[in-house]
A = this chain, B = another copy of it.
Amino acid sequence: MSGSLIIAGLGPGAAELITPEVTAALNEATDLIGYAPYVARVTEREGLTRHGSDNREELDRAGHALRLAAAGKRVVVVSSGDPGVFAMAAAVFEAVDAGDSSWRELDIKVLPGISAMFAAAARIGAPLGHDFCAINLSDNLKPWELVERRLRLAAQAGFVIALYNPLSKARPWQLGRALDLLREELPGHVPVIFASAISDAREAIDTVPLAEAVAERADMRTLVMIGSTQTRLIERVNAKPFVYTPRSVGVSS
């Protein structure tokens, strides 16, 4: 049994953001597993079987990948962005933890990728230039009360806050509620960045003050970043402003 399982990050979309390490793993794979739109980003070739699946089937997908690896296949599970950030790596290790004890001895590796928040931050300046946090706004796998608690504590800590999975058809009100709650904790001038489909043809990125931020600007593919009180805009004549958070914080902050 010489199978292996790699969980690889494809980055936000563009081919030039995929690391050579991930490209090499994709070229060696016998089986490719993941959410169908991510699997479709990898070119077909002889010797590669592509198994696309629906969203929200992470544990089934992880089990499938582990069984194929245990049977001797070279399996690559693909995630968008970084596989360790609200993506397939945790799902695979949950399946290993709960599954057959022989799975623990498989050759399992995670290959990092460019996460959505760093790709989005890079596009607009350096909004994550100081301490920051990342919160999955979905309440599919945790109680909404915990999301609210984390948002309040993060704002009180002065973190820049990156919100993943801000809304979906099944979760239409959560982002609006989160923005209202953050307006209770932070001044209205704090910049909020809405970043969608970074590095692909539909890329869109905009900054508005928290006082004017509305959930309708976001969709399933949007990453939302809430600045801290320190986050600043640099206005430009013929381009959108740069947004950055300075490295220094004064004693009064």
Measured CA separation A82–B115 after assembly (Å):
10
* Residues 15-30 (chain A) with a chain B CB within 8 angstroms: 15-21, 24
Copies in the complex: 2
Establish whether residues A110 and B85, one from each chain, have CB atoms under 8 Å apart when the complex forms: no
Establish whether residues A242 and B122, one from each chain, have CB atoms under 8 Å apart when the complex forms: no
Is residue A167 contacting chain B, with contact meaning CB distance below 8 A?
Answer: no
Establish whether residues B237 and A105, one from each chain, have CB atoms under 8 Å apart when the complex forms: yes
Is residue A84 contacting chain B, with contact meaning CB distance below 8 A?
Answer: yes
Measured CA separation A38–B16 after assembly (Å):
21
Measured CA separation A237–B102 after assembly (Å):
10
Partner of A244, one of B93, B125, B131, B135: B93
| Most chain B CB neighbours (cut-off 10 Å) among A94, A123, A149 | A94
Establish whether residues B131 and A133, one from each chain, have CB atoms under 8 Å apart when the complex forms: yes
Measured CA separation A251–B90 after assembly (Å):
19
* Residues 226-253 (chain A) with a chain B CB within 8 angstroms: 232, 234-239, 242, 244-249, 251, 253
Partner of A89, one of B114, B119, B122, B153: B122
The interface bits of chain A over 140-177 (1 if a CB of B lies within 8 angstroms of the residue's CB, else 0) are 01110110011001101111000000000000000000
Contacts of A14 in B (CB 8 A): 21
Min CB distance, A136 to chain B, in Å?
Answer: 6
Contacts of A251 in B (CB 8 A): 143, 145-146
Establish whether residues B19 and A16, one from each chain, have CB atoms under 8 Å apart when the complex forms: yes
Min CB distance, A16 to chain B, in Å?
Answer: 4
Min CB distance, A193 to chain B, in Å?
Answer: 12
Q: Given A89-B122, A157-B149, A157-B154, A108–B242 Cβ distance below 8 Å?
A: yes
Binding site for B on A (CB under 8 A): 11, 14-21, 24, 58, 82-86, 89-94, 96-97, 104-105, 108-115, 118-119, 121-123, 125-136, 141-143, 145-146, 149-150, 153-154, 156-159, 232, 234-239, 242, 244-249, 251, 253
Besides the known contacts A90-B247, A97-B234, 14 further A-B residue pairs in the complex with CB atoms under 8 A apart:
A16-B20, A17-B112, A19-B114, A84-B127, A89-B125, A93-B234, A109-B122, A110-B121, A110-B125, A113-B114, A115-B118, A131-B134, A142-B253, A149-B157
